[in-house]
Every structure is written in structure tokens, then in C-alpha cells.
Amino acid sequence: MSKLKKQIQDAVISAMKSGEKERLKIIRLMTSSMKQIEVDERIELDDQRIIVILDKMVKQRRESISQFKTAERDDLVKQEVFEIDIIQEFLPQALGEEEVDTIVQQAIEQTGASSIKDMGKVMGLVKPQIVGRANMGEVSGRIKSLLSAN
């Protein structure tokens, strides 16, 4: 069993014992997403794959937040932010802007990228290093602006 999976299972038990129903609900949602992939693909998830799953869950909630803000549903925005906070507890430490910039610059140099056409090559190197640690949409925008400036 992966270290991260064990950590999430321990969090389920801890939330049950302490009576944190809302927290338990979100953690169980995480475990069910993981379990579904394990059953569908007949595999045992490793930490990297779990991080991808959790990152996807955060991304879905961010999209919901933007829609809820448009609809002026502050109650639902608050709930989504709460869920993101819990999910992010299990993701690796977030990268700062400078760290992301360094990773992007190194990827551009390694690939020899010179125009927006090379975006895929750069993303291919950057994504594995930052998944679950930075907002992919923002990183993609940074890469685009750097490559269009060249």
C-alpha cells in the first residue's frame, strides 16, 4: 500500500473518531475516487497516481467556484473552498512562483523551445514536476507568455 493511501485511510479513521462529519465526507469522497480507478483498471495506485487524482478533484472544485461566483452563490463557494483545503492537506507542498518559473525555464532550455509551437514539449517536461503542486492553468499561461515573447 502506498504511503499516501495509508495516510488518507488513517485520516478517515481519525475523522470518524473525532466526529468531524464534513471532513469525513470529503475524505471518503477521495477514497471512493481512488477505489473506483483501482477497480476499473485492476491496479494498486501509487502515490504519483493518487496525487493526479487529488489534483483533478481540486481542479474540478476551482471550476465550480468560478461558476458559483458568477451565480453569486457564496454559500457554495465557501463549501468548495473548504473541500479544496481538505484535499490539499494530502497533496505535496505547493510550489512558489519562483520555483515554478525555474522549472518552466529549465524545461524551455532543455527542449530548445523557441515558439508557441513547442508548448507541448515544454508541458511534457513541466507537468510531472508540478502536478498537485501548482495550478496547471496558471503554469500553462506562463509558458505561453514566455514562448510568445520569443
Dump pLDDT digits (tens) for 63-98: 999 999 999 999 999 999 999 999 999 999 889 999
Positive or negative: CA dihedral 106, 107, 113, 114: negative
Q: Is 93 helix (H, G, I), strand (E, B) or coil?
A: coil
Dump pLDDT digits (tens) for 113-133: 888 999 999 999 999 999 888
C-alpha cell at 94: 505547493
Dump pLDDT digits (tens) for 29-47: 999 999 999 999 999 999 9
Q: What integer pLDDT is reported at residue 136 of this predicted model? A: 87
CB proximity list for 107: less than 8 A, separation 6 or greater:
113, 122, 125, 126
Give me the mean pLDDT over the 16-29 stretch.
97
| pLDDT(1) > 90 | no
In the chain, the amino acid numbered 44 is E
- Whole-model pTM over 0.85: no
CB 131 within 8 A of CB 53: no
C-alpha cell at 23: 471532513
Q: What integer pLDDT is reported at residue 40 of this predicted model? A: 96
Q: How confident is the model at residue 135 (pLDDT cuts 50, 70, 90)?
A: confident
Positive or negative: CA dihedral 120, 122, 124, 130: negative
Domains of the chain: 3-88 (1.10.1510.10), 97-149 (1.10.10.410)
Q: What integer pLDDT is reported at residue 150 of this predicted model? A: 61
CA angle 24, 48, 26 (to 5 degrees): 15
Q: What integer pLDDT is reported at residue 104 of this predicted model? A: 93
